[in-house]
Chains A and B, each alone.
Chain A
Amino acid sequence: DTGVSQDPRHKITKRGQNVTFRCDPISEHNRLYWYRQTLGQGPEFLTYFQNEAQLEKSRLLSDRFSAERPKGSFSTLEIQRTEQGDSAMYLCASSLGGNLRGEQYFGPGTRLTVT
């Protein structure tokens, strides 16, 4: 399977705990995006990477959210001190580098439930 993969698919955590999600993009894609989708809404952009460089992070929802892509391959999204409002689907997408306008391919998402 050469699509975008995300792990875990589901995460249930208690309020106040930290969680980390992983995204593995399509292998030749060097752009990687994170989005959040809440019920009944379209995905909301959070951040993106070009290779290992995080080029936009002002849209991260708070300073509790951080993302990394240390070697320009997989990426992680961490949420510290989770709150019930963080419950959502977290989506990762990748696109082909050098083509800024290219279509993004999405992974299956990680559904987070904060109790």
Chain B
Amino acid sequence: AQKVTQAQTEISVVEKEDVTLDCVYETRDTTYYLFWYKQPPSGELVFLIRRNSFDEQNEISGRYSWNFQKSTSSFNFTITASQVVDSAVYFCALSAQDSGYALNFGKGTSLLVTP
């Protein structure tokens, strides 16, 4: 069985603040994949990143960075110098063989960035 927990339901920050979105997962698979998706108010899910379970190297893409720690089963997402356009719901997801590699999503974290 797989489970993804995003404990933060809503976060509100002021523009230019840094913000970290938490994601904790559970799986029995030794090989699995972790994802972050963004769902802006328009509704369409936008792929942000995929991480393989055997690659714990952290990744940075512009203002976005991801911290993957297998020891704590966490895959956290940090936005540096947040902007109003970052306002959206962010979903963490897991896929693994025992689910046919379908995405198992958390409940999402709603981020509001105010000017």
Query: Which chain B positions have C-beta within 8 A of A105?
Result: 47
Q: Considering only CB atoms and an 8 Å cut-off, how many residues of chain B contact the other chain?
A: 25
> Distance (Å) between the CB of B78 and the closest chain A CB?
20
Task: Give how many A-B residue pairs fall within 8 Å (CB-CB).
Answer: 57
Complex Cα gap A56–B102 (Å):
9
Asked if A43 and B45 sit within 8 Å, CB to CB, the answer is yes
Interface string of B84-99 (1 = CB under 8 A from A): 0000000101010101
- Is residue A74 contacting chain B, with contact meaning CB distance below 8 A? no
Complex Cα gap A83–B100 (Å):
28
- Is residue B105 contacting chain A, with contact meaning CB distance below 8 A? yes
Complex Cα gap A41–B106 (Å):
8
- Is residue A21 contacting chain B, with contact meaning CB distance below 8 A? no
Residue on A with the closest CB to B107? A42
Asked if B103 and A104 sit within 8 Å, CB to CB, the answer is yes
- Is residue A112 contacting chain B, with contact meaning CB distance below 8 A? no
With A101-B95, A101-B101, A103-B35 known to touch, is A42 a contact of B47 (CB < 8 Å)? no
Q: Which of A42, A59, A100, A103 contacts B106 (CB 8 A)?
A: A42
Q: Considering only CB atoms and an 8 Å cut-off, how many residues of chain A contact the other chain?
A: 25
Asked if B100 and A108 sit within 8 Å, CB to CB, the answer is no
Using a CB–CB distance below 8 Å, which chain A residues touch chain B?
Answer: 33, 35, 40-45, 48, 55-56, 59, 89, 91, 93, 100-109
Give 18 CB contacts A-B under 8 Å: A33-B103, A40-B107, A41-B108, A42-B4, A43-B91, A43-B105, A44-B105, A59-B102, A100-B97, A101-B50, A101-B52, A101-B95, A103-B35, A103-B47, A105-B47, A106-B45, A107-B44, A109-B44
